[in-house]
Chains A and B, each alone.
Chain A
Amino acid sequence: MTQTLTKYAGYHEAFQALESSAPKSTPPWLHELRRQAWSRFQQLGFPTARRGNEKWKYTNVAPIASAAFSHPAALPSGAQPTAGRVKQLGPSAPGWTNLVFVDGHYSPALSTQPGQAPGIVVDNLSKATVSSPQLVQPHLARQAGFEDDGFIALNTAFLQDGAFIHVADNRTAPAMINLLFVTTEGPTPKVTFPRVLVVAGKGSQVSLVETYVSPAKSRYFINTVTEIVVGDGANVEHCRLLLESPEAFHVGNTRVYQGQDSTFTSAGFFRGAALARNDFQVLLDGTGANCTVNGLYLTTDSQHVDHLIGIDHAKPHGTSRLLYKGILDGKSKAVFGGTVMVRKDAQKTDARQTDKNLLLSPDAEVDSKPSLLIFADDVKCAHGATAGHIDANTVFYMQSRGLDLATASRMLIHAFAREVIDTVQAEPLRDYLDGLFSQAMPASSLRFGGTP
């Protein structure tokens, strides 16, 4: 027996354990996919070298690369969160379809499906690879290529449980699909690899929310990949919510493909995590496709959040609206790298991107770089970025009506956040998010800007 020296020994061990313990039903193509991805990850590794690496210019992933994490092989045997507790961890409403994952593993006991609807599949991905490979295989790992991304390669190597949503042509998913990924407290830091695949057929409609949450305060590493295929004329409403532990490392990759005349609306909300990366790429690959990508991030203490958003207009008559807003407190840092690409064929594109930041403390920092790459000549494009403080004159106006400083600031912060929250269509979800951001408290060292 020869011994191979592996750079990422811990992951290698976990990968071998996963492959050797895989159920017999695991289709050969999935084994092959994992092995290819693992092999690619070994070549790519984590993007720790930042020199000349524009994608990772402002974010150091060395703390992720150098730490050891254990990969939970199954659902935690002991203290699983109860259904009641799970409900409190994220958004919920009567009638929703709920898929709950604990430490990366699907929990049938905590998941609820109020009823089967024809043409709608909402299931654990690993089960779907066996039961409906014809629906899964053509799309899995097709939008999120792992050739040039170590995190996607690693996630794909560990592809196991996850959410699979398939809506047949012209069908409408009757209920909000609520995906909850819970990371529990454990003796050692964990790593999990949640995966989401959404395929919306031609003319179909579906709404989903992904929530990543932990009741723990401890460190863990969560590496997620979400792929969404929006068929011709389909309409997908998407929400992504991060409520991670303050010590967590969260690296999330989202890849969206849009067909002709399709509509994709997404709102991301980010709280928690010591380091959060949100790599979100939308390809408008059909004429007349339309996307709205919004985000709201609230950072405190020494949190670091990095958004890399790309909207790729490949075909004519597309519309995109990108609005990200940040509220930064403490010594936190946010990075916004937004790129709207308009390819040569994408005439009559109408694109707009904006990043606005509210800095509550003198030590908070934002690096915002919205950019446009336009290769077509008949387009309407705009972009902008702002960073400012709560205006002193505004606060005095509110105080002069009897509101104290804390109430006035909270009201202004909440109002700032609401521009994004109000874009969420589903009322129970919007109310939940509103509650989550209405109590955002500024630090005592609140910094003011503006002149009277």
Chain B
Amino acid sequence: MPLLVIRDLHASIGDQEILKGVDLTVNAGEVHAIMGPNGSGKSTLANVLAGRPEYTVTKGSVQYQGHDLLAMPPEQRAREGIFLAFQYPVELPGVRAWQFLKAAMDAQRQHRGLEEMSARDFNRLLQEKVQQVEIDPELVKRNVNEGFSGGEKKRNEILQLALLEPKLALLDETDSGLDIDALRIVAEGVNRSRRPDNAIVVVTHYQRILNYITPDFVHVLMDGRIVRSGGAELALELESRGYDWVKEAVS
């Protein structure tokens, strides 16, 4: 059974239809890249899958592990193993990172019938992940994302990815605004989380991050539809020829 099956997905924000019939199948063990020009609906797709309430699904279906994903509230999707790395990670004023991460971990474990982690075990795990993603250990002692630089916020998303070990990771333009070192660290974090039993969907405008994360499939999203799919080589072609080439090819 595929991990994720999207069929003819239409979604709107307000009166504006953004997704106009997306079809996509993702199997465990795969890495998919979703590319496309600005405003094509890439971020909308990732956010609809995570359950952002501002979007309304008007048509189509999403099956996740054989269940109706669209019927689940956002927290249930997270507990079932979906993780969205935000394009603009949110500052949580006054909420300590440690407390937040522990609460997230506890909620997810409880949902899976696992015991709550002791503070000591959680600390050990967190420290291990902090080292892995090369994040400043002081950051997890502070309030979530509060006063973090752009790069620190993105790295903090990757820390959460490493910690929560999702089945389906959605990276929403995680590469944008990163310098080359931060990009490498983020990509290594993603690569480290690749396992045969999970999948990663990388939403990106640029081919750059795909130098570090080799996708199994590349899809081009334009005007709310996937207009072209291929292997990793498609990303390189887009890099050299631009999106206009696809636009002309499909029109």
Q: Could you list which residues of chain A lie within 8 angstroms of chain B, going by C-beta atoms?
A: 391-394, 396-405, 407, 411-412, 414-416, 418-419, 452
Please report the C-alpha to C-alpha distance between residue A392 and residue B91 in the assembled complex, in whole angstroms. 12
Contact B160 A401, beta carbon cutoff 8 Å:
yes
Given A392-B53, A407-B103, A411-B103: A401 in contact with B94 (beta carbons within 8 A): no
Docked-complex contact A401 and B78, CB < 8 angstroms = yes
CB pair B100–A400 under 8 Å, yes or no, is no
Q: Could you tell me if B52 and A402 are in contact, using CB atoms closer than 8 angstroms?
A: no
Please tell me if the beta carbons of A452 and B107 are within 8 angstroms of each other in the complex: no
Asked whether B179 is an interface residue with its Cβ less than 8 Å from the other chain, the reply is no
Q: Are A415 and B92 in contact (CB under 8 A)?
A: yes
Contact with A along B103-132 (1 / 0, CB 8 A): 110011001000000000000000000000
Please state if B78 and A397 are interface contacts (CB–CB under 8 Å): no
Q: Which of A397, A401, A415 has the most CB of B within 10 A?
A: A401
Inter-chain contacts of A393 with B (CB < 8 A): 90
Number of interface residues, chain B, beta carbon within 8 A: 31
| Nearest CB in chain A: distance from B153 CB, A | 11
Q: In the assembled complex, how far is the CB of residue B89 from the closest CB belonging to chain A, in whole angstroms?
A: 7
B50 close to chain A: CB less than 8 A: yes
Q: B203 → chain A, closest Cβ, in Å?
A: 15
Q: Are A400 and B84 in contact (CB under 8 A)?
A: yes
Complex CA gap A407/B102 in Å reads 13
Interface pair A418/B94, CB less than 8 Å apart: yes
Chain B nearest Cβ from A396, distance in angstroms: 6
Q: A31 to B10, alpha carbons, bound, how many Å? A: 82
Judge whether B79 and A411 touch: CB under 8 Å.
no
The chain A residue with its CB closest to the CB of B92 is A394
Given A415-B92, A418-B94, A399 contacting B100 (CB threshold 8 A): no
Q: Could you show 6 A-B contacts with beta carbons less than 8 Å apart?
A: A399-B51, A400-B78, A411-B99, A416-B93, A418-B94, A452-B54
| A407 proximity list for chain B (CB < 8 A) | 103, 107
Residues in chain B near residue A416, CB distance under 8 A: 93-94
Task: Write out the residue numbers on chain A whose beta carbons fall within 8 Å of the beta carbon of B100.
Answer: 398, 401, 411
Q: Known interface pairs A411-B100, A411-B103. Does A404 touch B75 (Cβ–Cβ under 8 Å)?
A: yes
| Cα(A403)–Cα(B105), bound, Å | 9
Instruction: Given contact pairs A400-B75, A400-B86, A416-B93, enumerate 19 new A-B contacts (beta carbons under 8 Å).
Output: A392-B53, A397-B89, A398-B92, A398-B104, A399-B51, A399-B73, A399-B74, A399-B78, A400-B77, A401-B83, A402-B164, A403-B103, A411-B95, A412-B93, A412-B95, A415-B93, A416-B94, A418-B94, A452-B52
Q: CB-nearest residue of chain A relative to B88?
A: A393
Residues of B within 8 A of A404 (CB): 73, 75, 107
Question: Assuming A404-B107, A411-B99, A452-B52, is B75 touching A399 (CB within 8 A)?
Answer: yes
Do A403 and B104 touch (CB < 8 A)? yes
Q: Nearest residue in A to B164 (C-beta to C-beta)?
A: A401
Residues on B with C-beta less than 8 A from A412 are: 92-95
Q: Are A396 and B53 in contact (CB under 8 A)?
A: yes
Instruction: Identify the closest chain B residue to A452 (Cβ).
Output: B54
Which of B50, B53, B94 contacts A419 (CB under 8 A)?
B94
Are B73 and A397 closer than 8 Å at their CB atoms? no
The 6 tightest CB contacts between A and B, nearest first, are A415-B94, A397-B90, A401-B104, A402-B78, A399-B74, A402-B107
Distance in angstroms between the alpha carbons of A405 and B84 in the assembled complex: 17
User: Which of A391, A402, A416, A418 neighbours the largest number of chain B CB atoms within 10 Å of its CB?
Assistant: A402
Nearest-neighbour CB distance to chain A for B71, whole angstroms, equals 15
What are the residues of chain A within 8 A of B77 when measuring CB–CB?
400
Q: Which chain A residue has the least Cβ–Cβ distance from B143?
A: A415
A396 touching B93, Cβ below 8 Å: no
Which residues of A sit under 8 angstroms from B160, Cβ to Cβ?
Answer: 401
Q: Give A300 Cβ to nearest chain B Cβ, in Å.
A: 21
In angstroms, Cα B243 to Cα A104, docked, is 79
Contacts of B89 in A (CB 8 A): 397
Q: Which residues in B have their C-beta under 8 angstroms from that of A399?
A: 51, 73-75, 78
Residue contact B94 to A394, C-beta cutoff 8 Å: no
Shortest A450–chain B CB gap in Å is 10
Given contacts A411-B95, A411-B100, A396 and B52 within 8 Å (CB-CB): yes
Do A400 and B93 contact each other (CB < 8 Å), given the known contacts A407-B103, A452-B52?
no
